[in-house]
Amino acid sequence: MMNLKTDYKSIIKETSILTVAVAIIAAAVYFFLVPSHASVSSISGLGIVLSNFIPLPLSAITMILNVVLLIIGFFTCGREFGVKTVYTSVMLPLFLGVFERIFSDFGSMTNSQELDVLCYILVVSVGLSILFNRNASSGGLDIVAKIMNKYLHMDLGKAMSLSGMCVALSAALVYDKKTVVLSVLGTYFNGLVLDHFIFDHNIKRRVCIITKKEEELRQFIIHDLHSGATIYESIGAYNMEKRNEIITIVDKGEYQKLMNYMNREDPKAFITVYTVSDMRYQPKR
């Protein structure tokens, strides 16, 4: 019974996070991408172009395009990714439909095409990074990017830029050269910003410490940080003295706690720090 309650809580929490992320993406599309007329790295951008030829609202076009790619993503990226993306793919056009009804005569917030594209890139990258970090996507080109990331081992940002470039170039069918250039540049920078948000979220630090309070530090890492550590024997080159070096991998919050602890307990400890963005465990065979 307790496990069932815990599962319900985790499902509600996960659904809430996905809903907020989709709302952010939908707001970026409707309030910034639509007024700019640019076609930046999203199926919604392609929908904006197609809305000039197809007598359907943007929300309906987005839904149709998403369904096709959704079927592909469900079978190529796993059940969890598929289920979450089904939910976000349904919610995105719903949010767009709500915005269309409430803000039917909405124009540009910035009165500048360039600023609209810039705002879109910054806002949508927040939403997309949340989804990708939860093993989900907003559907459409995100699914294409996820497939490229999984099978071609490309960074998600680069995959988004590459898959979105064709969509960006489709703006040439409808808009002027300036809009096409903005679409292409926006697609490229959207990939860069997305990678920044994703890797900044996942980034960890490898901290190597030589201290006289070795046992106290080991206890602090295990019981206070709830992290692991590895201990190596090291030999100082100056006096050939043997000391133990403690190495641990921590996130941003844990790193701050660890540094505060060391400054308080042993300010003279020897500490080196390395940035770690890719950690893999290879099981024994």
Which residue type, as a one-letter code, is found at position 237?
A
Q: Enumerate domains of the chain plus CATH numbers.
A: 11-200 (no CATH), 204-276 (3.30.70.120)
Residue 105: which pLDDT band, with cuts at 50, 70 and 90?
confident
Share of the chain above pLDDT 90, in %: 13
Q: Which residue has the tokens 């979450």?
A: 84
* 172 beta partners: none
The per-residue pLDDT for 1 is 47
Which tokens hold the place of 60?
A: 């309906």
pLDDT > 80? residue 186: no
pLDDT tens track for 189-231: 777 777 776 666 566 888 999 998 899 999 999 988 888 899 9
The per-residue pLDDT for 246 is 93
What is the distance between the alpha carbons of residues 45 and 34, in angstroms, rounded to a whole number?
8
pLDDT tens track for 48-103: 777 777 888 877 777 787 777 777 777 777 778 878 888 887 888 889 889 888 88
The per-residue pLDDT for 236 is 78
Nearest to 45 by CA among 202, 173, 212, 211: 173
What is the distance between the alpha carbons of residues 215 and 128, in angstroms, rounded to a whole number?
43
| Cα angle value 87/98/48 (rounded, 5°) | 85
What is the distance between the alpha carbons of residues 167 and 172, in angstroms, rounded to a whole number?
10
Q: Comparing 167 with 113, which gets the higher pLDDT? A: 113
With residue 245 as reference, give the H or E element that holds it.
Answer: strand 242-250
SS3 of 28-55: the string is HHHHHHHHHCCCCCCHHHHHHHHCCCCC
Which tokens hold the place of 196?
A: 């920044």
Q: What is the mean pLDDT of the chain?
A: 79
